[in-house]
Each structure stands twice: as structure tokens, then as C-alpha cells.
Amino acid sequence: MLPVFFDIRFESPTAWFVLYVIGVLVVAYGAWAGWRSAQGPLDPKSGNHLPATQRDRSQRAVTYGVVFALFVRLAFYYALPPQAFLGQRGQGFPLHTYGLLLMTAFLVGAAVAGRLAEREWPGLEGKRKREQMQDLALWALVGAFIGSRILFMLVNWQDTVSAVPTLFENFPVRLLDWLFGGLVFYGGLLGAMATSYWYARKNDIPFLRLADVAIPCVSLGQAIGRLGCFSAGCCWGAPATGHVHWAVRFPGGTVARDILGRFTHTGSLAYQSEASDGRWVLESTGQIFHSPQPGAVRLSQWVAEHGTTLPLHPTQLYESIGQLLLFTLLVLARPYRRFHGEIFALWLMAYAVLRSTVELFRGDLERGTLHGLLESLGLVELASKVPLEAWYNLSTSQFISLGMFAAGATLMVRGRRGLHPLPPLPTALPSPA
């Protein structure tokens, strides 16, 4: 497990100069990309975009250049020390394994979705749809981030509200930390679905047909992304007993190293959580208690002495394997679907079952549970009747899974009632252009 894959620091004037040059090149590339990708207005007769004028290209180049410049400015703020021009925090660029794998998941998922779209719509229309899938991927990424962040703040509502008064203490840094904090997959999924529906309506694409193409790639991306969760030590599992031979220990800051074997002083999220956990644990069984018990030790004391977490279920790997299998099965099932939306419906039901099952082995209370919800509503006495470790202490994700399964089942029933033959798909993916 590598919370930090590699750490790049900028501690000398020479390193600062190199970063400035890279920043200028990034802004220049952004402006060039905007100029190159500019399109003219949409021709209502043909349904295609007219050739871009000089003004269209200039406006697009300026817009892209400004956006890239803002990101470069933000990067300078975090990477460079206070004595450097435009610097402040001096954190460098720690390449977190989580972020690298998320980026890989996005790129792979978008590429495969484009190929599947080209297979779904034959001829020139397929090539056009492949390009539209690339555009949709960017929009869906924005929607996924917004939805993921909103659901995280709702699940952790008390922490969200308590952080608001501190936003102006070191503005805009506090605001950025608040906005770019924790994320929740289900929130991202709902945000991406809403964005995809808007994009499909805007571009006159049947949404259910689009969903059949795109949804298997969500599982492919999630199979890769959960490996990032495993590296960072987030979304961790409950303590595992001795017969679980594949149990894992997530490192603390004194143990974690990067790819070159250097100490990073960045512990896993699982370790950070258990290091502040005041509950008691029986090491031989992994059973958690809320009061002292014979043979039990404080969880925070145990992890401080060992430098790692307790042996935990690798729930990230459980879901990663399940998502990879789900992707494979859905792609194989696509040629046999009987109505548009069937693959989407199958995914909704299958993933709801997969996620609810994995949640049974989760140990991170931060994800939100029924117990925590009752406490946040002030129903302390009722919350005490739902112990944290009880099987019926459903998590937020399990509640959402119930709704997802119902939605998938409803879509399946309605689709089968209105069955009509679909044209067969090609037996092989088209060769790259």
C-alpha cells in the first residue's frame, strides 16, 4: 500500500524556475487546445457545426487559457514555499496513488466507452458518437465531482456546518479545503447520471441507449479506482479474525513509504481514523467494544504501538474484483439485449447487490450510518438502540442501493412489456481510425 506514489519537492530557485516554465507551457497548451477544438454555430438544417471563424477560435483559446492559468496558479500556491513568487504552502507535488489510479480509471473508462459507442452506432454516426462520448466523459466528471461532494457533506452534515465559520479565517485556502474534501461514490454516480441525462437531451441521443453503452465502463473505472482506495487506505473494512488469511494492515505515517522506499510521513486514512478511535478491541477476535472488557485494549493505543491498523477486510479489493466481473458480464450480454435500457437496468440491480454485500464488511464509520443519522437528528436514545456494529445499522450506501435496485427492477419490467426487436451489433470492435 502506497498512500504517496512519489513526492516531488521544489526547494531551490532552480526548481522554482523549472516549475514556472512548465506552468507557462501548460497555459500555452490550454490556449492552443481551445483554438484547435473550436466549433462554429450549429446548422439547424444539417445538424452539424459550421466551420469555426477566427473569432470563435480566439474566444475559445482565451477561455481555455484562463481556465488553465487558474489551475496553474493554484498549483503554484500549494507547490512553492512562501519565499517563492506566487508560492505559499510549499507542499510540492506529492503524487498520491489514489489520484493517479482515479485518473487512469477515468481515461480507460472514457476510451472504452468511445469504442463501445462506435460499435453501437454503425458507420459515420459511430465515429461521431465516439467523439461525443469523449465530451460526455468530461461533463460527467464535473457532475460526478459535484454530486460526490454534496452527498459527502450531507452524510457529514454536522462537520460541514461547523466548518463554515472557519472559511474566512484563511480565505480562499479554507474554502478550497472545504470544497475539495471527502467524496462519496454514490453521490458521484447520481451526479454523473444527471449530467449524462442532460447531455443526451441536449444532443438528441436516446438516454437509455446511451446508458447501455456507458454504464459497463463505470464498473471498469470503479474496478481501477478501488485500487486507489486500497492504496490510500480509505473505504476500509472491519477488523478480520485470524481465519481471514487475506486481511491487510494499513500503514501509519512512521511506516508508509513511496515507490522508492522513502518515508513519506503520510499515513493511510484507515490508520488516521483508528489512531483517534477511543473504542476497545479484543485483538484475538477483532471484536469492538464501547467500554473496557477483559483482554481488550484501546484501539488508538493498539495502532500507536504497532504503527499499522488492525488486520482488516480489504473491502476495496472485494469491490474491485466484483466490478471487474460485472463489467465483463455486461459487455458479453450487450449483443443479446432485447430493449434499450436493459443493460442499464441489469447494472442498477447487480451493483446494488454488490455494494450492499461489500458494505457488510466495511469498518469506516465516516461513510454514514443509520446510527449516525439518528444522532445528528438529536435522537440519541433511539440511536443507542442501533449499535454501531449491528447488522441492521444500515449505511447510507445501503439505503441508496435499495432505491437503485427498485429503479433497475422497474426499468426491467417496463422494458420487457414494450419489447421490440433491436438491430444486431457487430461481432467485433471496429478497428481504430
Span 259-300, pLDDT tens digits: 878 787 888 999 999 999 888 988 878 888 888 888 899 999
pLDDT at 251: 92
Q: Per-residue pLDDT for 165 more than 70?
A: no
What would you measure as the largest C-alpha separation in the chain, in angstroms? Answer: 80
**DSSP letters for 236-260:** -B-B--TT-TT-B--B-TTT-B-TT
The DSSP H or E segment spanning 110 is helix 97-120
Asked whether the beta carbons of 338 and 419 are under 8 A apart, the reply is: yes
pLDDT band at 105 (very low <50, low <70, confident <90, very high): very high
Smallest Cα–Cα separation from 317: which of 209, 236, 408?
Answer: 236
Max avg pLDDT among 85-99, 105-119, 140-154, 417-431: 105-119
| 6 strand-pairing partners | 95
Q: Per-residue pLDDT for 93 more than 70?
A: yes
The whole-number average pLDDT for the span 200-228 is: 93
Distance from C-alpha of 347 to C-alpha of 326, rounded to nearest angstrom: 8
Angle between helices 342-359 and 207-232 (to 10 degrees): 20
pLDDT at 91: 80
pLDDT band at 255 (very low <50, low <70, confident <90, very high): confident
Mapped onto helix, strand or coil, the DSSP state of residue 93 is strand
Distance from C-alpha of 204 to C-alpha of 196, rounded to nearest angstrom: 12
| Angle CA 236–233–298, to nearest 5 | 65
pLDDT at 371: 77
pLDDT at 168: 57
pLDDT at 433: 43
Rounded to the nearest angstrom, the gap between the alpha carbon of residue 355 and the centroid of all alpha carbons in its chain is 15
Distance from C-alpha of 126 to C-alpha of 120, rounded to nearest angstrom: 7
Half-sphere exposure of 407 (CA within 13 A, CB side): 14
The predicted-structure confidence for 362-420, as pLDDT tens digits, reads as follows 988 777 777 777 776 677 788 888 877 777 788 888 888 999 999 999 999 998 887 65
pLDDT at 432: 47
pLDDT at 405: 96
Other Cβ atoms closer than 10 A to 22: 12
Higher pLDDT, 319 or 162: 319
Q: Per-residue pLDDT for 248 more than 70?
A: yes
Counting residues of the chain whose pLDDT is more than 90, the rounded percentage is 39
The predicted-structure confidence for 310-363, as pLDDT tens digits, reads as follows 999 999 999 999 999 999 999 999 989 999 999 999 999 999 999 999 998 998
Distance from C-alpha of 301 to C-alpha of 297, rounded to nearest angstrom: 7
Using only the alpha carbons of the chain, give its radius of gyration: 24
pLDDT at 283: 81
Counting residues of the chain whose pLDDT is more than 70, the rounded percentage is 88
Tracing cell 435500457 back to the chain, one arrives at 341
DSSP letter assigned to residue 340: T
Q: Which is it for strands 280-282 and 93-96: parallel, antiparallel or unpaired?
A: unpaired
Distance from C-alpha of 99 to C-alpha of 146, rounded to nearest angstrom: 17
Other Cβ atoms closer than 10 A to 302: 19
Distance from C-alpha of 232 to C-alpha of 266, rounded to nearest angstrom: 10
Mean pLDDT, all residues of the chain: 85
Tracing cell 450480454 back to the chain, one arrives at 333
